[in-house]
């Protein structure tokens, strides 16, 4: 039912109507031609014969040229065999036409010569028809087949023109010879054999082509029987035989045209339309993909198997800080954090060899400015028809903010833990240490223990050092009693300036103040002093002799900002990620608690610490929210 519905569709109806219209036009033209040449035969038979034969000769040569020229496309052995055969048949028919009685090309009465050439042509045609189906199953070597036909036709022509051994076929006044009549019957039998063998192999041909060939064979047989009974070469039966020959050549020509031109062209046309449709669909799909790729808020990049960038969208450029042109000259490894290179390479290897279809991982990327930022990377692979990887699709989301929040939460938890520990060890450790220190001082003053005095001094020094570490611990405790009050940040800095300047001069550095008028803030003066001293101490140690440490203050929207700037070599991005982590230090004698205390103090004051570093130095920004923005009561709770 579906097949019937498809055939009854508008597209099928239009195609069917065009085909019927074309076939009707061909029938009208052929009928008109037959009527025209028949009319000519009653007024000038020689002209009739010449027209019929010339049309047949042209058709025969056309069949030969088309079949041979299109063999590489169609691969149709049968019709290629016909092409070679009809080329020689057309040649003999040309000689037959020139030898026809009244043409005057050959001397004397040529009725017998033209009839002999006719029989030679028909034998060539019928033998070809009889053996043609064999070429369904055998490949054709065109040169060998052409050579066989050359030998066969040359022998026929020599037997007629040179050796005079070809039997007479027509005697003037008597008519056809017995040889001619028997030959026509044999020719018809050979064609019948060809029909039988062709019917057995009909599945090898398109139905329409099969019908054309069968019609050609049948009309050829009718033509041959017409030539058995004629007496006069200008007679009625001769005329009918030539007309059926014309029809026969028309059908074989249709078979060749249909098989070697029309059907391949239709297939090519259909394939072209399908290809155009596929190209259009792929173009639309590519355009949709390109728009999704280009305008996606998520950074996306196409990366070749070796890691080189193939395409990048604007979000990916924004994420890395590089331009598209710059990234196209780089590899994915160039923007991957050194600590993540191994995992990145291993994940890509497993993806490319097919162990997994995609992977998702959190990794750090290095931007153009040298900053390490976090991204959530999802990577999948596109393969060719053979399964080889073409490129990977890398989608990246910026999760730096989330990671910093996580780190901040971990830092706050560390502060709480250290605070709890500090509160617990204040009395449990400090009091015994004070007692030990007192006894060591007393023992050191005894005369009989004078030789041990230097050892007592070393022990006292180490106890003092341990006590200072405990003091730093205590500063992390949220339970430390505090009294925040309304004060001015500049006042605290100006009070500390002589102390900081003295320390700077002692170390061969300089101090520079750049303070602007600020509004008062709720601050814990002692803790802010410690924060400033810690930051300044770090800055002085980061610089070489002659360096300048700059302390600046300014207001920025809803913030009061303290900036501590040094002229050191900057902070390595790998180290910058760990700033504020308890016990992390790059100093030989450092405790790793200085910046931790600073971050803790800033947290208590609802402030944020930002770091900007380069080869020219580092700036620590401490941003305090103005008291108008936060509730003083909430602020005070941070100290209780």
Indicate the domain borders of the chain: 27-269, 297-398, 404-475, 485-637
Q: How confident is the model at residue 16 (pLDDT cuts 50, 70, 90)?
A: low
Sequence-separated (6 or more) residues with CB below 8 Å from residue 195? 214, 217, 218
Mean pLDDT of all residues in the chain?
Answer: 83
Residues 197 and 133: their CA atoms lie apart, in Å, by: 6
For 478, phi and psi rounded to 5 degrees?
-75, -10
> Is pTM, for the whole model, over 0.75?
no
Q: How far from the centroid of its chain's Cα atoms is residue 424's Cα?
A: 64
* pLDDT for the residue 208: 84
* pLDDT for the residue 7: 43
Decide if pLDDT at 303 tops 60: yes
* pLDDT for the residue 418: 59
Nearest CA-CA partner of 319 in 365, 274, 267, 271: 365
Residues 520 and 523: their CA atoms lie apart, in Å, by: 9
Q: How confident is the model at residue 15 (pLDDT cuts 50, 70, 90)?
A: low
Q: How confident is the model at residue 240 (pLDDT cuts 50, 70, 90)?
A: confident
* CATH class of segment(s) 485-637: alpha beta
Q: How confident is the model at residue 461 (pLDDT cuts 50, 70, 90)?
A: confident
Q: What is the pLDDT of residues 245-292, one digit of tens each?
A: 889 888 888 887 776 666 667 777 888 888 888 888 888 888 888 888
Q: How far from the centroid of its chain's Cα atoms is residue 234's Cα?
A: 74
Between the two ends of the chain, the Cα-to-Cα distance in Å is: 87
More confident residue, 138 or 167: 167
> Cα dihedral sign for 39, 40, 44, 46?
negative
For 535, phi and psi rounded to 5 degrees?
-65, -40
Burial class of residue 636 in the structure, from the number of CB atoms within 10 Å of its CB (0-12 exposed, 13-18 middle, 19+ buried): middle
Q: Looking at 495-590, which runs of residues are DSSP E strands?
A: 510-514, 521-523, 548-556, 559-565
Q: How confident is the model at residue 587 (pLDDT cuts 50, 70, 90)?
A: low
* CATH class of segment(s) 297-398: alpha beta
More confident residue, 248 or 12: 248
* pLDDT for the residue 1: 33
Token pair belonging to 399: 């999760």
Query: What is the DSSP-derived secondary structure letter of residue 259?
Result: I
Sequence-separated (6 or more) residues with CB below 8 Å from residue 637? none
More confident residue, 214 or 484: 214
Residues 269 and 274: their CA atoms lie apart, in Å, by: 9
Q: Is 196:132 a contact under the CB 8 Å cutoff?
A: no
Average pLDDT for 53-62: 90
Residues 378 and 395: their CA atoms lie apart, in Å, by: 5
Q: Is 367:320 a contact under the CB 8 Å cutoff?
A: yes
CATH architecture for the domain at 27-269: Up-down Bundle (1.20)
Average pLDDT for 179-200: 92
Q: How confident is the model at residue 454 (pLDDT cuts 50, 70, 90)?
A: confident
Q: How confident is the model at residue 346 (pLDDT cuts 50, 70, 90)?
A: very high
* pLDDT for the residue 124: 95
CB crowding 232-271: b at 16 or more within 10 Å, else e: ebbeeebbbbbbbbbbbbbbbbbbbbbbbeebeeeeeeee
Token pair belonging to 128: 């070809």
Q: What is the pLDDT of residues 306-320, one digit of tens each?
A: 999 999 999 999 999
Q: Is 522:486 a contact under the CB 8 Å cutoff?
A: yes
Decide if pLDDT at 633 tops 60: no
More confident residue, 155 or 401: 155
DSSP H/E element including 220: helix 207-228
Q: What is the pLDDT of residues 67-114, one digit of tens each?
A: 888 777 777 777 788 889 999 999 999 999 999 888 989 987 788 999
DSSP H/E element including 618: strand 617-625
φ/ψ region of 52 (left if φ > 0, alpha if ψ in -120 to 50, else beta) reads: alpha
Burial class of residue 167 in the structure, from the number of CB atoms within 10 Å of its CB (0-12 exposed, 13-18 middle, 19+ buried): middle
Decide if pLDDT at 20 tops 80: no
Decide if pLDDT at 394 tops 90: yes
């Amino acid at each position: 039912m579906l097949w019937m519905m498809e055939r009854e569709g508008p597209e099928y109806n239009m195609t069917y109507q065009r085909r019927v219209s074309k076939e009707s036009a061909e029938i009208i033209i052929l009928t008109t031609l037959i009527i025209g040449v028949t009319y000519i035969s009653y007024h000038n038979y020689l002209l009739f014969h010449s027209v019929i034969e010339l049309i047949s000769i042209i058709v025969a040569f056309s069949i030969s040229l088309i079949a041979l020229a299109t063999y590489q496309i169609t691969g149709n052995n049968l019709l290629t065999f016909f092409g070679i055969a009809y080329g020689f048949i057309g040649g003999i028919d040309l000689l037959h036409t020139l030898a026809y009685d009244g043409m005057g090309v050959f001397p004397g009465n040529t009725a017998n010569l033209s009839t002999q050439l006719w029989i030679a042509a028909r034998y060539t045609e019928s033998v070809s028809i009889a053996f043609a189906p064999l070429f369904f199953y055998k490949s054709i070597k065109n040169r060998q087949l052409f050579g066989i036909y050359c030998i066969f036709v040359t022998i026929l022509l020599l037997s007629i023109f040179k050796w005079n051994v070809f039997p007479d076929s027509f005697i003037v006044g008597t008519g056809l010879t017995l040889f001619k009549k028997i030959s026509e019957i044999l020719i018809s039998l050979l064609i019948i054999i060809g029909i039988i063998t062709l019917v057995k192999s009909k599945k090898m041909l398109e139905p329409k082509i099969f019908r054309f060939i069968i019609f050609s064979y049948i009309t050829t047989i009718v033509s041959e029987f017409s030539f058995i009974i004629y007496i006069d070469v200008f007679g009625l039966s001769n005329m009918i035989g030539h007309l059926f020959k014309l029809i026969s050549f028309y059908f074989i020509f249709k078979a060749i045209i249909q098989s070697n031109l029309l059907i391949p062209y239709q297939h090519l046309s259909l394939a072209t339309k399908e290809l155009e449709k596929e190209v259009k669909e792929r173009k639309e799909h590519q355009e949709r993909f390109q728009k999704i790729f280009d305008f996606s808020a998520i950074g996306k990049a196409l990366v070749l198997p070796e890691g080189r960038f193939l395409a990048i969208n604007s979000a990916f450029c924004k994420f890395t800080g590089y331009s598209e042109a710059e990234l196209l000259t780089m590899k994915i490894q160039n923007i991957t954090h050194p600590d993540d290179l191994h995992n990145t390479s291993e994940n890509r290897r497993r993806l490319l060899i097919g162990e997994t279809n995609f992977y998702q991982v959190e990794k750090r990327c290095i931007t153009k400015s040298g900053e390490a930022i976090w991204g959530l990377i999802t990577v999948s692979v596109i393969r060719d028809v053979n399964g080889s990887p073409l490129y990977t699709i890398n989608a990246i989301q910026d999760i730096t903010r989330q990671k910093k929040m996580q780190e901040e939460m971990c830092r706050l938890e560390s502060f709480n833990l250290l605070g709890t520990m500090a509160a617990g060890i204040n009395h449990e450790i400090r009091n015994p240490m004070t007692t030990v220190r007192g006894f060591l001082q007393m023992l050191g003053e005894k005369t009989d223990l004078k030789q041990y005095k230097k050892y007592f001094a070393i022990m006292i020094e180490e106890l003092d050092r341990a006590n200072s570490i405990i003091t730093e611990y205590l500063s992390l405790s949220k339970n430390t009693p505090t009294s925040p009050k309304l004060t001015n940040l500049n006042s605290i800095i100006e009070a500390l300036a002589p102390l900081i300047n003295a320390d700077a001069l002692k170390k061969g550095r300089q101090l520079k103040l750049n303070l602007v008028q600020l509004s008062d803030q709720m601050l814990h003066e002692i803790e802010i002093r410690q924060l400033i001293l810690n930051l300044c101490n770090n800055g002085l140690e980061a610089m070489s002799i002659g360096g300048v440490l700059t302390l600046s203050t300014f207001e920025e929207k809803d913030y009061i900002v303290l900036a501590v700037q040094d002229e050191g070599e900057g902070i390595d991005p790998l180290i910058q990620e760990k700033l504020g982590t308890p016990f992390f230090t790059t100093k030989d004698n450092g405790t790793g608690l200085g910046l931790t205390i600073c971050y803790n103090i800033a947290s208590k004051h609802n402030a944020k610490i930002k770091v900007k570093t380069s080869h020219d130095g580092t700036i620590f920004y401490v941003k305090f929210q103005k008291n108008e923005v936060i509730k003083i009561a909430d602020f005070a709770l941070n100290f209780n």
